[in-house]
């Protein structure tokens, strides 16, 4: 069990309560190489698994010859679609499960290039890899649809649940004095976390232990239990540290079922590490999207109509919508609105959640269109956003819990120097570099979940905080130590935090920016209960030195308990625990309502998303907000683009730890720069194969691509959003970055960039400079 200790001599104690800039408690373990990641667990007798992937995009396997692989040195087992693994389909994220439907992680039917079709288990990784190369597969190939632009691609199916309308948008659009309409496109994007996916699976009788990077230990344990027909308690997921997830490590995948099934058949542990190229097809990234947005406004730029038609790719065998209309109904006041979303089935793995799913591509279209409208009416892009400011949620009609987007625009504008911007494109330059300034806004919903925590005060005065929640770099260890220190009145150096294990108290997924609000609430509740229990013992126990003081209440601060009057008795918690003869005081609390405290309610809350409340579940509409201001320099001769300055202002409610929140915001902005300028999954249209499935060809932003980034918090505590007043931080940082860059490129060059990524060839294209 990994315990991250707060004890140190770094001088951080002054920042050890909520709101302080405490450095990450797990930082030292990571920079010294002491943090144990899942695939580094030293398991005795481990065998090694290697996946074999399909080489066609559609069709079926007609023959598999594995004889050479089986005869190769060190081969222990070869699994093919003919291997009966005795698995059952598991529930989806919301707990819905078909009855007794068999699950085949290896299939003869091929639906995308790179699909797992076989696996080899060997004594060593090298032997398994060589044997995998010897498997001979014969395919019967079928026509494949490899993307939006494939001639065989259909219009797609319209999703009624994602259709939003009010007023008469098309009539109002037709009557509007000013109209703009354009199509915006985003390509396939991938997670490319530095830590590859994989696991080690070990069986002891009917008990399964999995060491796997996990954003949701309890949810993944439920999946494995259902696959193998086990009681939930018989599966344990251990994941104390994660090397990046971004949404891709919140669920169990086919390779996990394969490795665990192999381990059961071999009766020995099996490790399966997904290779870097395989990470592009072993699980889904962000789907490609396209969307057409039409805005109608009066001559002052006030919106009268918004018509939005979007689509995203999905797999031929399962649906996952990258909701292009996710942000459109929220951002601006408009009396007539219409939005729809379609799914276009192509031969790809089913897409998945990648940082700010839905909201990210949605704002690329909307914020680009708003910039185009600003130029159509000759209004500053910040001013047009303020003129169309929504004072309440336009879709639900509910008031915002807090919405300080106006303050974000103001603070960001001042810090960036926006008033010095000239409106005309191509009007700012530095030598051969065209200078462009762009702005865009973003949002992400407050998703409210429940979690559980255990707090234990020990005899030496230290405190343990225990939860199955995870930390993938966002700072869970640190903010939970700060939360407990705040509630208990104990120095943060005396707090030890244990996380990342499904056998520990239940927690929601680290996704959707919901974990911090949920788990700090649980820790605060448990720590407050422990404090009250300690005070009660101090006042009432016959062995307590406070028994005869006549005090009816006590204070706890800096690890000491005291009578709240001048000269009153004061002793350390350690000495009090000794006097009481107590080895520990333990409290366990959760944030579920009183009527949901049974085992079934707990299981639903910790292992499914069925209990999660959306942003409008209640009297208010709750969201985080941001405004990005970006400067770009475009080389007039070569068309190269460099983001040279970023200022972003955020409303994320109360900030539990500014240092960690700022890091999350900057991380999202950096990913947004990569999305705008570099990232693009390239598919070979002959066979549906992703051709840049490596970190040499799939380009992401590096230090050389990133300028100074200034981030500003304008939020205030939002007690509707969470117990401690915080709103989501991790997802919102990327939302709006790409359109801000695209808008800045237009300001620099006069050319609209509606198709990501923005590359040299597009900048140097033949379209003439704008006359705006």
User: Among all residues, which ones are annotated catalytic?
Assistant: 731
> How far apart are the C-alpha atoms of 477 and 668, rounded to whole Å?
20
Q: Which two tokens stand for residue 251?
A: 């669920």
Token pair 């609105």 in the structure block, residue? 337
Nearest 5°: the CA angle 711, 717, 721 is: 105
DSSP for 343-393? EEEESSPPP---SSTTHHHHHHHHHHHHHHHHHHHT--HHHHHHHTB-SB-
Q: Give the residue from 244, 248, 256 showing the smallest Cα distance to 211.
A: 256
CB 256 within 8 A of CB 211: no
Rounded to the nearest 10 degrees, the angle between the axes of helix 359-377 and helix 737-749 is 30
Query: Encoding tokens for residue 32?
Result: 């010294």
Give the C-alpha separation, 493 to 490, whole Å.
8
498/429 Cα distance (integer angstroms):
54
DSSP H helices in 678-713: none
* CA distances from residue 720 to 3, 186, 346, 623, 727 in whole angstroms, order as listed: 32, 34, 41, 11, 9
In sequence order, what DSSP letters do the residues of 460-479 get, joined into one string?
A: TS-EEEE-S---SSS-HHHH
Question: Which whole-number Å values give the CA distances from 126 to 49, 137, 201, 489, in the listed order?
Answer: 10, 21, 19, 54
Q: How far apart are CA 633 and CA 437, in angstroms?
A: 9
Instruction: Please report which helix (H) or strand (E) contains residue 181, including its range.
Output: strand 178-186
Structure tokens at 115: 């699909």
Bridge-based pairing of strands 303-315 and 337-346 is parallel
Pairing, β 136-141 against β 59-65: antiparallel
**Which of 369, 366, 378, 386 has the alpha carbon at shortest distance from 425?**
378
Residue of 31, 68, 90 lying closest to 608 (CA atoms): 90
In 378-510, where does DSSP find H-type helix? Answer: 381-387, 405-416, 476-488
Distance CA 569, CA 575 (A): 13
d(CA 716, CA 171): 40
CB 521 within 8 A of CB 564: no
Relative to beta strand 555-557, strand 560-562 is antiparallel
* Cα–Cα distances in angstroms (integers) from residue 598 to residues 170, 216, 223, 601, 602, in the given order: 50, 21, 21, 5, 6
Contacts of 688 (CB under 8 A, 6+ apart): 56, 57, 58, 112, 113, 144, 146, 347, 348
Rounded Cα gap, residues 582 and 567, in angstroms: 27
Contact 482, 492 (CB under 8 A): yes
Strand runs (DSSP E) across 261-351, as ranges?
270-273, 289-297, 303-315, 337-346
Give per-residue burial for 18-56: e unless 16+ CB within 10 Å, then b. Answer: bebebbbbbbebeeeeebbbbbebeeeebbbbbbbbbbb
């Amino acid at each position: 069990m990994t315990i991250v200790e707060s004890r140190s001599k770094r001088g951080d104690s002054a920042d050890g309560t909520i709101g302080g800039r405490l450095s990450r408690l797990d930082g030292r373990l990571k920079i010294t190489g002491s943090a144990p990641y899942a695939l580094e667990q030293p398991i005795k007798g481990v065998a090694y698994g290697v996946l074999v992937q399909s080489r066609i995009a559609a069709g079926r396997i007609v023959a598999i010859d594995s004889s050479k692989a089986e005869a190769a040195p060190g081969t222990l087992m070869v699994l093919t679609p003919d291997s009966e693994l005795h698995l059952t389909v598991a529930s989806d994220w919301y707990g819905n499960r078909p009855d007794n439907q068999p699950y085949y992680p290896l299939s003869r039917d091929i639906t995308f290039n790179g699909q797992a079709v076989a696996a080899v288990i060997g004594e060593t990784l090298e032997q398994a890899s060589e044997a995998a190369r010897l498997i001979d597969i014969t395919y019967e190939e079928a026509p494949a649809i490899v993307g939006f632009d494939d001639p065989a691609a259909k219009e797609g199916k319209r999703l009624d649940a994602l259709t939003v309308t009010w007023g008469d948008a098309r009539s109002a659009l037709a009557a509007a004095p000013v109209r703009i309409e354009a199509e915006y496109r985003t390509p396939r994007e991938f997670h490319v976390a530095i830590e590859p996916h994989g696991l080690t699976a070990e069986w002891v009788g009917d008990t399964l232990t999995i060491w796997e990077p996990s954003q949701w230990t309890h949810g993944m344990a439920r999946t494995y239990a259902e696959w193998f027909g086990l009681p939930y308690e018989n599966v344990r997921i251990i994941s104390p540290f994660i090397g990046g997830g971004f949404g891709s490590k919140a669920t169990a995948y086919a390779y996990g079922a394969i490795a665990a099934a192999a381990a059961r058949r071999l009766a020995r542990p099996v490790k399966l590490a997904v290779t870097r190229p395989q990470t592009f097809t072993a699980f889904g990234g962000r789907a490609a999207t396209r969307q057409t947005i039409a805005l109608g406004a009066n001559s002052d730029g006030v919106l009268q109509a918004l018509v939005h038609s979007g689509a995203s790719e999905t797999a031929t065998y399962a649906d996952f919508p990258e909701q292009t209309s996710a942000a459109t109904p929220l951002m601006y006041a408009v009396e007539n609105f219409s939005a729809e979303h379609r799914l276009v089935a192509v031969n790809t793995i089913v897409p998945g959640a990648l940082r700010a799913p839905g909201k990210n591509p949605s704002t690329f279209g909307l914020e680009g269109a708003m910039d185009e409208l600003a130029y159509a009416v000759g209004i500053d892009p910040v001013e047009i956003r303020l003129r169309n400011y929504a004072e309440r949620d336009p879709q639900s009609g509910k008031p915002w819990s807090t919405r300080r987007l106006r303050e974000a625009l103001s603070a960001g504008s001042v810090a960036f120097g926006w008033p010095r911007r000239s409106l005309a494109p191509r009007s700012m330059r530095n030598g051969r570099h065209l200078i462009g300034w762009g702005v865009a806004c973003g949002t992400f919903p407050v998703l409210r979940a429940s979690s559980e925590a255990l707090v234990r005060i020990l005899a030496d005065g230290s405190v343990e905080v225990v939860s199955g929640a995870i930390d993938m770099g966002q700072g869970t260890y640190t903010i939970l130590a700060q939360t407990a220190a705040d509630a208990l009145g104990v120095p943060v150096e005396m707090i030890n935090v244990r996380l990342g294990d499904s056998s520990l108290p239940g927690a929601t997924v680290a996704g959707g920016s919901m974990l911090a609000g949920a788990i700090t609430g649980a820790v605060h509740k448990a720590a407050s209960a422990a404090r009250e229990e300690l005070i009660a013992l101090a006042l009432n126990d016959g062995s307590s030195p406070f028994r005869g003081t006549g005090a009816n209440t006590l204070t706890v601060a800096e690890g000491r308990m005291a009578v709240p009057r001048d000269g009153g008795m004061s002793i350390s918690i350690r000495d009090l625990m000794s006097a009481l003869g107590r080895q520990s005081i333990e409290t366990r609390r959760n944030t579920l309502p009183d009527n949901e405290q049974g085992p079934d309610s707990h299981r639903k809350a910790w292992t499914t998303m069925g209990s999660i409340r959306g942003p409008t579940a209640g009297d208010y509409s709750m969201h985080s907000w941001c405004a990005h201001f970006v400067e770009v320099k475009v080389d007039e001769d070569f068309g190269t683009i460099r983001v040279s300055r970023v200022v972003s202002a955020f409303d994320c409610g109360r900030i539990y730890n500014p240092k960690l929140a700022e890091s999350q915001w900057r991380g999202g902005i950096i990913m947004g720069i990569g999305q705008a300028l570099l990232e693009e999954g390239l598919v070979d249209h002959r066979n549906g194969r992703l051709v840049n499935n490596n970190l040499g060809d799939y380009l992401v932003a590096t230090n050389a691509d990133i300028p100074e980034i200034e981030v500003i918090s304008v939020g205030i505590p939002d007690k509707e959003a969470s117990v401690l007043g915080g709103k989501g931080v991790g997802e919102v940082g990327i939302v709006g970055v790409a359109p801000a860059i695209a808008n800045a490129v237009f300001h620099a060059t006069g050319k609209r960039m509606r198709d990501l990524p923005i590359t040299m060839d597009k900048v140097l294209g033949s379209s003439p400079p704008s006359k705006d």
